[in-house]
Structure 1
Amino acid sequence: MIRILLSTCVALLMGCSSTNKDSETVLFAGEIVNPTSNQVILMKGGLKIDSAKLDDKNRFKFKLASLENGLYHFNLAPEFQYVYLEKGDSLMVRLNTIYFDESLVFSGSNEETNNFLLDLFLTAEDEDSAMYTDYYELEPADFLEKIESLKQEKVSNLNEINSENLLSEEAVKLLTGSIEYTYNRYKEIYPFQHKRKTAEQNFHDLPKDYFSYRTQINYGDNTLTYLRPYYDFMKAHFGNLAYMSCVKNCKDSANDDSKQLHYKKHKLHLIDSLVVEKELRDNLFRNVALDYLLKKKDAPENTEIFLNEFKNVSKNNMHIEEIENLYQGITNLQPSKIIPNLEVLNFENQSKTLTEISANRKVLFYFWSGTNKKQYLDIFNRIAVLKEKKPEYELIGINIKTDFDQWKSIIATLGVDSTLQYHSTDFKELTEKLVLYPMNKAILTDNTVIVDGFSNIYKN
């Protein structure tokens, strides 16, 4: 109902605007209800194309003289979503940030492409959940039948939309890729999840043609590089290839202390040998590095070996500074180190440093964002429990990715002690220096000295 009402509003907003495909100029505009930022940023991959301020009616407009056809995304901090644009487009969007993805509606030229892409995104969220709760337990034949049924439903919908040739060849390729890689990713994950869910000792036997789709994989399609289903497929695919390769060929080559290092090196070299598109290579190498550095602490000497291998295979990686900063952040959060002297704001908008806040007392720092209500309510419920379990610690909350006034409003609504709450305005710096993965992280200090830099509020 929300999307139907918003669709009507978008149609009214469009007024007499029309598409002129003979023109190079692209118009992308819209209206934001309950904005969380005063500007919209248009991105292509990691490159900022332009920004547009919201006017007094919360409307924005991009008028771009020349734009390459393809997939972009627009950011309204802290959220973002895809938008597909072609030369000559006149496209409008309207959304309510309270619902964001669910409320978002496109109207104008390429509305069919963008609304269909959004529907695929929303459907995938539900289907991901169903895969883990129901479908991965199925026997291979039943699983494949279910996957094919879900996929064909999307293909039929796409064919119906395009029955009047409303979509360009590039748009059809993008939407087809989104469908194909979504369901092929499930196939990559299935052997591992089926084994885990059924507690089988070995991987289940699969039909001989189970991985036949792999012959059609394009490892160098720059039109799909930043399409989420394509990228997620690649992550699952290389994880599968690396693991199965190790199981088959490397049974005695790695002891327990170096298994993670051995496996991640395999993954790096597989990406290096198969992926030819520079940005996809860089992003996949980055993913391996983040996974290795964040998910399991390894011996310092192994970490050094990994970083050297990473730099060797991923020369001139656009994420190298981030990876090096992350490694330095991990090093700086080891026990007996002083907590990084980062600045945050208190409830009165006064600047305080973490060393000031943690001086002369024991502190448990935890982190939360106002963008996910369920998450922050769960966190505050857990903090109430920890207050009883750890009375010797002062429990200090640091908010990220939330507008300052919105943060204050949430604190007031929850009735939380505002003297124990702080707000960060530099998410990137805080994330890199405090290694904020995952959001359930906690840092324990004693008179500014780190006791545990990688704790978890749900494991304390």
Structure 2
Amino acid sequence: MKAILSAFLAFFLVFGCVNTNSTQEPYAYFGGEIINPNNDYITLRASSQEIPDTIFFNADNRFLHKVENLKSGIYFFMHGGEYQMIVLEPQDSIMVRLNTFDFDESLVYTGNGAKRNNWLIQSFLENEKKARKLSDYFKMNPEEFHDFMEAERTSEHIKLNNFLLNSIESEAFINLAKSQIDYGNFAIKEIYPFGYFGNNKIVQVKDLPEKFYEYRSEVDFNAEQLSEVYAYNRFLFSFFDNIAVTEYYKHRECHNPFERQSLLHNLSKLKLIDSIVDSPKIKNDLFKFTARNFINNSNNQEEISALITDFASRSTNEEATIEIIELSKALKKMQPGNKLVSAELIDPQDKFHNLKTLVNKPTVIYFWSSNIKRHYRNSHKRAFSLNEAYPNVDFIAINLNNDNRRYWKKTLENSEFDLTNEFIFKDLEHSRKVLGINSINKVILVDKDLTIIHPNLNMFGSEIESYLAQLE
């Protein structure tokens, strides 16, 4: 404790004196240090706050912010496109330290209020660890899997109760902690049938043990206080994907394989969301997620139009409706056979380029983020390998998250990438819209005449090699 207090004293001295007696309103301090930053600021907002507070770093990449008129509850801080949840309560003085190379794994809190938040991040990481073990869980039979997950859930609640014996926490934190355990567990149970049965036999989901879905009676589909909590959203997405299967097979023969991307399945999801969820916020978020996911993965314009019509008739969020319509227009322009649209780029030497002028032979355009180290290393490695196998094809890499070129260049330097075909968008938001980019996994393939061959390939799949082989 003395070490923590000393660290805070030194930290506050860096930023000057702090007058803690200047107001009777509830407040909290949030500060910290970002190692290997992706830009020069961090943002903080309450879960109900649309516009975040922007907090700039000093020369040592440290920051300190006083949250005035604090409302106890869930807050989110974001840096370089990655974010994490934190619970703030009056008189908290929390310092966060993290390394962007391992954002969540390196995150540590100190100070008053740190214990509860260290517990939350560890719970989050436990859920992530389970998600990486899904393929192992799929090998268990349903009864074995059910018993295993129930035992895991009970064990985690015991750990939470033990934690609470030594730490007096608010009801809001306790409810959040319990929800993170429960919905993380529920999400895996909703995903399990797809992994265990597979698309060819998913119809057999109806044969699962009766007790398998007993937990659904505990679900609150209108928990707006959890509307931005990852475990809760993951459960909701998986749940509606799951229960829509029953509706799907009312219109398909049982021996037919399941098609997750079918118009029928996605229309069923929209209908079920509308009938089960009452909260406008949660309902609209689920509508938007379903519509965006379908549009991103469909090349059938008639089906896209049909889904958007249904989506627009249900959504009460006008901004989301406009966004989805604009996305569909952008993706329509990116269909095979169309010409590649313009986008302004900047190279590591700060020279400006138009994407169109860079293409003079078949070209693979792929994207990456400094926040996802494994992806950007693997995607560059894959591009190098494919380029060796198909030397007549160019590869253009575009960074999607660094809004400050200095930090982008730092990542390039640290990674020792060949700078020849590395770029960043001049106007990220505009370029993402016109190119229909909603994921770093998107890969665009064009021929030497700028004609789009495929607008959404998988860099790590075998399909991309089939396309490149045809260009030889």
> TM-score, with normalisation over the residues of structure 1?
0.88
Q: Which residue in 2 is equivalent to 1:140?
A: 142
| C-alpha contact (below 8 Å) 1:341/1:355 kept by paired residues | yes
- Structure 2 spans left out of the alignment, 5+ residues: 13-17, 466-472
The yes-or-no answer on 1:114 pairing with 2:117 is yes
* 8 A Cα contact 2:398 2:423, kept in partner: yes
SS in 2 for 1:48: coil
Q: Does the residue aligned with 1:93 lie in a helix, a strand or coil?
A: strand
Larger deviation, residues 194-203 vs 88-97: 194-203
Matches of 2:257 and 2:372 in 1, distance apart? 41
Q: Displacement, 1:98?
A: 3.0
In structure 2, what is the equivalent of residue 35 of structure 1? 37
Per the TM alignment, residue 389 of structure 1 is displaced from its structure 2 partner at its CA by 3.6
Q: Distance in 2 between matches of 1:258 and 1:27?
A: 46
The SS at the match of 1:280 is helix
- Partner of 2:358, secondary structure, is helix
Alpha-carbon distance in structure 2 between the residues aligned to 1:29 and 1:255: 52
Correspondences of 1:286-305 after superposition (within 5 Å): 286-297=288-299, 299-305=300-306
What corresponds to 2:470 in structure 1?
none
Mean Cα deviation higher: 20-29 or 86-95: 20-29
Residue 421 of structure 1, CA deviation = 2.0
| DSSP 3-state at the match of 1:386 | helix
Cα distance in 2 for partners of 1:281, 1:206 equals 28
Looking at structure 1, the residues matched to 244 and 24 of structure 2 have their Cα atoms a distance apart, in angstroms, of: 48
Kindly state the Cα deviation for residue 404 of structure 1 after the two structures are TM-superposed: 2.5
Following TM superposition, by how much is the alpha carbon of 1:8 offset from its aligned partner in structure 2, in angstroms?
8.6
Post-superposition shift, 1:411? Answer: 4.0
1:220 deviation in Å?
1.1
Aligned-partner Cα distance in 1 for 2:354–2:46? 35
2:6 corresponds in structure 1 to 12
1:42-441 to 2 correspondences below 5 Å: 42-45=44-47, 47-132=50-135, 134-164=136-166, 166-196=168-198, 202-203=204-205, 205-247=207-249, 249-251=250-252, 260-297=262-299, 299-358=300-359, 360-402=360-402, 403-412=404-413, 416-436=417-437, 437=439, 439=441, 441=443
Q: Which runs of 5+ in 1 are unaligned?
A: 1-6
- C-alpha RMSD of the superposition: 3.1
Q: Deviations over 1:225-245 (max 9, x none)?
A: 111111110001111111123
Question: Relative to structure 1, is the Cα distance of residues 413 and 118 closer, same or farther in structure 2, using a 3 angstrom cutoff?
Answer: closer
8 Å contact kept, 2:199–2:258 = no
| Structure 1 range deviating more: 95-104 or 256-265 | 256-265
Whole-Å Cα distance in 1 between the matches of residues 257 and 152 of structure 2? 42
Taking structure 1 as reference, are residues 11 and 284 closer, same or farther at Cα in structure 2, changes over 3 Å only? farther
Q: Distance in 1 between matches of 2:112 and 2:243?
A: 41
Q: Report SS of the residue matched to 2:445.
A: strand
> What is the CA distance between 1:318 and its match in structure 2?
4.0
Q: Distance in 1 between matches of 2:376 and 2:260?
A: 37
TM-score for both structures, normalised by structure 2: 0.86
Name the aligned partner's letter for residue 395 of structure 1: F
- Distance between the aligned counterparts of 1:116 and 1:257, measured in 2? 39
How far apart in 1 are the matches of 2:374 and 2:191?
Answer: 27
The AA in structure 2 aligned to 1:439 is N
Q: Hey, what's the Cα distance between the residues in 1 that align with 2:242 and 2:259?
A: 21
CA shift at 1:32, angstroms? Answer: 2.1
Identity %: 26
Matched letter for residue 39 of structure 2? S
**Does structure 2 retain, via aligned residues, the 8 Å contact 1:155–1:179?**
yes
Secondary structure of residue in 2 paired with 1:250: coil
Q: What do the CA deviations read for 1:118-173 (whole angstroms, capped 9, x no partner)? A: 001111111111222x1221122211221122212211111111114511011100
